[in-house]
Structure 1
Amino acid sequence: MPAIPAWNPAAALALMDQLGSETAMLSSSSPGVHFGDDHAARPLAQRVNEPGRELVQAHPGRFGLLASLPLPDLDGALAELRYAFDVLKADGVVL
């Protein structure tokens, strides 16, 4: 997708420091992780959420995680919700 902006943690932290922001919340933007296929959306949600958790762990207090859910797949979303809170220790979810 050509509209995805370049992003890296070091530049984000530098900008946060410049602006006096202590913490930033990581989340995926629209269109999310569901593109019409429930079975493809479920692992994509985890592939989005797990690197977010790694950044939170690498930079405690600087980043928080808002986990992506594979909605409208309700069963998949509930499973990812449990995983996001129980395993990844997400701070919230993106709806």
Structure 2
Amino acid sequence: MKDARDIIVRPVITEKSMNLMAENKYTFIVDKQANKTEIRKAIEEIFHVKVDNVRTINVKGKKRRMGRFEGYKPDRKKAIVTLKAGHKIPLFEGM
């Protein structure tokens, strides 16, 4: 079993994710091999909150070019985590 801090890579701070916080939903970039159960346990362990639902999205890397060289940004996995009523993640509160 992976450590919880290896599963949760970083939070996503965008305008859309900030709007989802009003619905008690938080967005994170997670390890590509992590499943919903591992993500739920990692969030509960790190932030000491109760998770209601986990939705995951596989995001394909975008094509990038530098001069004549082409490549792709790496693929990643996002998780939208819905917390139970009354629970908040203090990391996001100041934003």
Q: Normalising to structure 1: TM-score of the pair?
A: 0.29
More strand by share: 2
Query: Which structure has the larger Rg?
Result: 2
